[in-house]
Structure 1
């Protein structure tokens, strides 16, 4: 009767013998890329056709005083008896200065929206390509990766769009050095600020998943993260200062969720470490049983 170790070695050898060639890997990767590209094109085309919603409601929403974020701040100001949190109008005008500017902006914005909406499917295709190369226990430990990566991306994107971007746009576009100077913001500049803020927050919110995979690979532990917590706080403050306007309130609003994500990542690294130790102990116990048998 074959021992568990012998069965494992035979299965490992069979798997290595059935490995795909380099050309087969390239062919598989090509089809993953094609399917992902088709998904992006479909979402981008849908966004391009929904021009009124895309620009009037979505893109230009933070440029109007009736935007959801401004209304919530106004309600907060009323509750705190602080009229400064309410705004009746925005202090800038968005304009286009190039002949083909609006058409170009329409196409590029549709492509960006296609990438954003297709991100879960893009990551799923990447995961389908990587997954066959993982060991069974690695696949089991990474179960739900596509869901959580997509969920964190969506949370970060919503936070950037509804919190970080409106604060930055309102501060930068209404800031004046002299009352006689009127702020007339170029459409390209406005869109660049909006997308940069939103996408930056979306990717920053992936910190827990990044720590999860690094902890799985043994490249980081919760002890290291606790040891360098003060350094991490400095880095987080710098990141918040880069992606927000030079306004203390905006930086605090962006810094707090990133700090919360860092603390959550420490907990994730601790759980991963404990499970890794339990798995190694179980393997040692199984091997010891095989030797004694």
Structure 2
């Protein structure tokens, strides 16, 4: 009993230390970025500013909003930059409890999932925002002046980042479903038509009500699904080859 208590306490201490190191990395990067917090927000707001009429700027309706919104954006940027350290700390805590074959599978999943999430955010920023914001600006009646509030803009951007980041995780989800035996590659291929319909339904719910942005979310989801099915088939073939008698 004493051994179990000591083991549990040692794991709690290890978890605390890993969390402290991860949070410390984020804080250090955040403090280094703070002098450029306004520039970081301007960079995030650039797609919207390019879509607004010339001379129009965004507005802040709250008293402390001009301070807190750039701080929140800078904290998000600090987390993304410090993400390798955060992931390493999480991996260093979990890895000792995994079998060798589990470590060989889990590490690529974690790294690949992170890169795919960041790729989804980048795709959203560089391609989707430009299309969506120009559509919204061009659709607005001439009798009004389009001047978005920076806090609402931040909320919209975070929602879109999350939507596209999660969407780009589709290959990882497909691989995990096949790896755990929940579905087979054959079943995934047979479900292709339902996935396509589901992708457009999800895109219609998540994105603004214009066809272009919905297509820009649904098509990558379908393509990534096919990539996941292809990778799952390769994984199954390798497993079969590795277990085949010599």
Q: Same fold (TM over 0.5)?
A: yes
| 2:17 paired residue number | 31
Distance 2:110 2:234 in 1: 19
- 1:214 and 2:200 correspond: no
Among 45, 55, 66, which residue is 1:60 paired with?
45
| 2:160 paired residue number | 197
Listed as ranges, the gaps of 5+ residues in structure 2 are none
- 1:130 and 2:94 correspond: yes
Distance 1:119 1:235 in 2: 31
Deviation at 1:97, TM superposition (A): 0.9
**What count of residue pairs does the alignment treat as equivalent?**
243
The question of whether the paired residues in 2 share the 8 Å contact of 1:240 and 1:254 is answered with yes
CA 1:41–1:88: 2 relative to 1, 3 Å: closer
Distance 1:174 1:189 in 2: 19
TM-score of the pair, normalised by structure 2: 0.86
Distance 1:182 1:89 in 2: 9
- Structure richer in helix, relative to its length: 2
- Determine helix, strand or coil for the equivalent of 2:30: helix
| 1:248 paired residue number | 211
| 2:115 paired residue number | 151
- 1:99 and 2:63 correspond: yes
Largest Rg, 1 or 2: 1
The question of whether the paired residues in 2 share the 8 Å contact of 1:156 and 1:203 is answered with yes
- 1:257 and 2:226 correspond: no
Deviation at 1:226, TM superposition (A): 1.2
CA 1:207–1:122: 2 relative to 1, 3 Å: farther
CA 1:220–1:132: 2 relative to 1, 3 Å: farther
CA 1:121–1:273: 2 relative to 1, 3 Å: same
The question of whether the paired residues in 1 share the 8 Å contact of 2:52 and 2:137 is answered with no
- Determine helix, strand or coil for the equivalent of 1:64: helix
Distance 1:266 1:172 in 2: 36
| 1:166 paired residue number | 130
CA deviations 1:91-134 (Å, max 9, x no partner) are: 96410111111111122222222222233332332222222222
CA 1:21–1:216: 2 relative to 1, 3 Å: farther
Distance 2:137 2:29 in 1: 31
CA 1:201–1:242: 2 relative to 1, 3 Å: same
The question of whether the paired residues in 1 share the 8 Å contact of 2:41 and 2:74 is answered with no
The RMSD of aligned alpha carbons is 2.7
Listed as ranges, the gaps of 5+ residues in structure 1 are 1-16, 66-86, 286-293
- Determine helix, strand or coil for the equivalent of 1:203: helix
| 1:74 paired residue number | none
TM-score of the pair, normalised by structure 1: 0.73
CA deviations 1:18-46 (Å, max 9, x no partner) are: 9x822222222222211111122122223
Distance 2:222 2:236 in 1: 21
Distance 2:88 2:166 in 1: 16
Deviation at 1:140, TM superposition (A): 2.6
- Determine helix, strand or coil for the equivalent of 1:159: helix
The question of whether the paired residues in 2 share the 8 Å contact of 1:161 and 1:197 is answered with no
Deviation at 1:159, TM superposition (A): 0.1
